[in-house]
Structure 1
Amino acid sequence: MSGPGAGHEFPAKEVTWLKRDALLFANSIGATSKELHYLFELHPDFAVFPTYPVILPFKLTDQEVTDFYARSKGSPIPGVPNFDARRVVDGQRKITVFKQLPTSSAGKKFELRNKVVGVYDKGKASVVESEQSIVDVASGEVYSTINGSAFYVGQGGWGGPKGPASQNYPPPTGRKPDAVNELQTTSETAQLYRLNGDYNPLHATPEPGQKMGFGGVIIHGLYSWNATAHVVLEAFGASDPKNFKEFQARFASPVRPGDKLITEMWRTGDSVDGFDEIIFVTKNLKGQVVLSNGRALIKAQQMDSKL
């Protein structure tokens, strides 16, 4: 790690969740009654959907709604400008799961540990890459890490390093997908998803999106990301959280309420530690790519191509 800000650690923050939070999250990303182990707390295999850790940096310990803008100010990063959090969009997210979260944090103390990987000046924007870990404080065990990049729109040109090129995972050419899924969003999709703790007004009321040039409300990028993770695990891993190791995608274009999301998925034939590599792309009905650079590591089960 090198360059301004790299390696800077933000103060650790406690995170908590209830079984109710696990149920709400699964509901909000499209789990169905075929997957009662995510939707019914008395199911013998009741589990938190494996991408739930991505919501914890927004939620922290709260059960009540929070002021998204006030919370987004965060702590300054030494050696770089103080960016305006009202003009930030998600670049890319990758989660690696080492251990399943318990269905509630009760009885343990969990912390979010957040460090800067790099801060890059892209000219018209700045990018902050971070690594967030969910850690059991008593044992020091890391349950998951999330690598993310935030794009601060119109906030570049301060002379920082340009940063490395990121690795690309394009879909295979000339091959039909091994699975395809269609997911219909509604005008309330974002209103439900935000109850997980991500209360950005951009996803609830038209004014912020109008100011940012989106024309109105857009759905959380992380809704599409999580909903697609659910689709991929259902298509290849029999919806079993134990079959989920890694998932990443780049936020390519905004999703509007009512858009239909079409995810095409391919098994590459490669595997890492017994988990199969899946490449995917998610588009809207116009063929615009919504999530690009999609790659997951899933322990593939019996294929069901009729999804």
Structure 2
Amino acid sequence: MSGPGAAHEFPAKEVSWLKRDVLLFANSIGATSKELHFLFELHPNFAVFPTYPIILPFKLTDQEVTDFYARSKASPIPGVPAFDPKRVVDGQRKITVFKQLPTTSAGRKFELRNKVVGVYDKGKASVVETEQTVVDKESGEVYCSVVGSAFYVGQGGWGGPKGPATPNYPPPKDRKPDAVREVQTTTETAQLYRLNGDYNPLHATPEPGRKMGFGGIIIHGLFSWNSAAHIVLEAFGNSDPANFREFQARFASPVKPGDRLVTELWRTGEVVDGFEEIRFVTKNQTGAVVLSNGRALIRVKGGAKL
């Protein structure tokens, strides 16, 4: 794809994690005592939840709290304006898992490689689409790929390309879901999730959210996204990370602390390399869609129970 910034590569960055980080992540996205392989480091099948790499661009190698705004001042992208990281929200994320991460990076060297797919001017906002891969630096093996888009609110109108339309994955019409799951968030859900390394003040104190028009604190879009990934794998893949290949969703509206999230899931019967396509939508208690365009590829084990 051509256009300003396309194919620009940012400098590679080292990433690392401990078993404790893996346990915290699983805890923060809703893993339960029925899934001790995600929650207990001495379990014979102890494993990293497959969407954990989504946190690594925020965490990098740190164990201490980091300055989100300072870290968000990414290297400039040639040919596009410098955007304000204090007014950015997630657009959409898609992860493809090629190989499970080890439960700790200790003794290995992993790096995050990050390149621009495109930068688009939507008029009232700009969208930066990137592809990030987690790579074993010594072997060159790619463990996963994450394509994501960041919406820079109120920062459009600089004359850039509008960009392509993104494909839609609506749920099947006139068919009840094959599974329904509820997640009850609390006023501390975001406070726990941010300890993974995503320390955006928007999710911890009301002032940034008021300035952005959200009325106060909102929960990380990636909490809802990871929570839905957990739901999909639990409902259809027997909570086995080996049964997880792809997962994506679009961030449709903000989630407030205390919201009840209801995820409806449908099997489509479409199978790719042994992994079946699952479509889903997540709504809050008012019926407002918070995650749209939900799609996963899961090796289905047994039928999910409603």
Correspondence for 2:259: 259
Which letter maps to 1:221? G
> What whole-Å deviation, never above 9, does each CA across 1:235-263 have from its counterpart, x for those lacking one?
00000000000000000000000000000
- Cα displacement (A) at 1:304: 3.0
Cα distance in 1 for partners of 2:260, 2:129 equals: 30
Cα distance in 1 for partners of 2:66, 2:74 equals: 14
> What whole-Å deviation, never above 9, does each CA across 1:80-116 have from its counterpart, x for those lacking one?
0011111001000000000000000011100000000
Cα distance in 1 for partners of 2:297, 2:305 equals: 18
1:299 paired with 2:302, answer no
Cα distance in 1 for partners of 2:108, 2:226 equals: 25
Cα distance in 1 for partners of 2:28, 2:153 equals: 28
Correspondence for 2:243: 243
Q: How does 1:211-290 map to 2 (within 5 A)?
A: 211-290=211-290
Secondary structure, counterpart of 2:4 in structure 1 = coil
TM-score with structure 2 length normalisation? 0.99
Cα distance in 1 for partners of 2:51, 2:92 equals: 14
Correspondence for 1:147: 147
1:20 paired with 2:20, answer yes
Cα distance in 2 for partners of 1:157, 1:247 equals: 32
CA contact (8 A) 2:5 2:118 kept: yes
Cα distance in 2 for partners of 1:38, 1:269 equals: 28
Give unpaired runs (5+ residues) of structure 2: none
Which letter maps to 1:123? G
Cα distance in 1 for partners of 2:178, 2:110 equals: 38
Cα distance in 2 for partners of 1:131, 1:300 equals: 27
Correspondence for 1:88: 88
Which letter maps to 2:163? G
Cα distance in 2 for partners of 1:155, 1:182 equals: 35
TM-score with structure 1 length normalisation? 0.99
CA contact (8 A) 2:178 2:304 kept: no
Cα distance in 1 for partners of 2:65, 2:209 equals: 20
CA contact (8 A) 2:9 2:115 kept: yes
- Cα displacement (A) at 1:129: 0.3
1:45 paired with 2:45, answer yes
After superposition, the CA RMSD in angstroms is 0.5
- Cα displacement (A) at 1:303: 1.4
Cα distance in 2 for partners of 1:290, 1:203 equals: 16
Correspondence for 1:174: 174
Displacement over 2 Å in runs of 4+: none
Q: How does 1:115-194 map to 2 (within 5 A)?
A: 115-194=115-194
State how many pairs are aligned.
Answer: 306
Correspondence for 1:60: 60
- Cα displacement (A) at 1:264: 0.2
Cα distance in 2 for partners of 1:4, 1:304 equals: 45
- Cα displacement (A) at 1:305: 1.2
- Cα displacement (A) at 1:166: 0.3
Cα distance in 1 for partners of 2:123, 2:209 equals: 23
Secondary structure, counterpart of 1:228 in structure 2 = helix
Cα distance in 2 for partners of 1:207, 1:155 equals: 20
Which letter maps to 2:248? Q
Q: How does 1:189-204 map to 2 (within 5 A)?
A: 189-204=189-204
Secondary structure, counterpart of 1:190 in structure 2 = helix
Cα distance in 2 for partners of 1:65, 1:85 equals: 18
Secondary structure, counterpart of 2:93 in structure 1 = strand
